[in-house]
Structure 1
């Protein structure tokens, strides 16, 4: 694991966009990472109907999702808003 990227313990559900939002920090910069409900459904083979289920599935796969986000950050795969999207 690259120690230059650290992920906080915070995560939240954005019901409008249907994504779980979590934050990474690299060289003092905060990077918002988004993982879609669709991606979580494919990963877990469960249907994501609400915030509770989304955050539960995210927690179960957190380390894998952080590893993926780290790879995307290192590859500089940012969207136009400077976010990392896992779809």
Structure 2
């Protein structure tokens, strides 16, 4: 794991887009990362019904999700909004 990319333990639910938003920091720059509800559901193999469930699933899978986000950051795979997008 790249030590220059840090993931603070912060995540929020965006009900409009059905995504969890979580930050990454690289060389002092803040990078917004997002993971879709459907991607989380595919990872756990079951439906996510509530915001609280989505946050719990994210926390359970945070190591794997952060690893995926780290790879995308290193490859500079930003979307048009400048975010790293999983799923």
Which band: TM-score by shorter chain? over 0.9
1:65 is displaced (CA, Å) by: 0.1
Q: Which residue of 2 aligns with 1:25?
A: 25
1:7-26 alignment runs, 5 A limit: 7-26=7-26
* Secondary structure of 1:9's aligned partner: coil
Give the TM-score normalised by structure 1.
Answer: 0.98
Q: Which residue of 2 aligns with 1:2?
A: 2
RMSD, aligned CA:
0.6
Q: Which residue of 2 aligns with 1:55?
A: 55
Consecutive unaligned residues in structure 2, runs of 5 or more: none
* Secondary structure of 1:16's aligned partner: coil
> Which deviations, in whole Å up to 9, do the C-alpha atoms of 1:23-81 show, x marking residues without a partner?
00001100000000000000001211221110010011000000000000000000111
Instruction: Return the structure number with greater strand share.
Output: 1
Give the TM-score normalised by structure 2.
Answer: 0.98
1:42 paired to 2:42: yes
Consecutive unaligned residues in structure 1, runs of 5 or more: none
Number of aligned residue pairs: give it: 87
User: Matches of 1:4 and 1:17 in 2, distance apart?
Assistant: 29
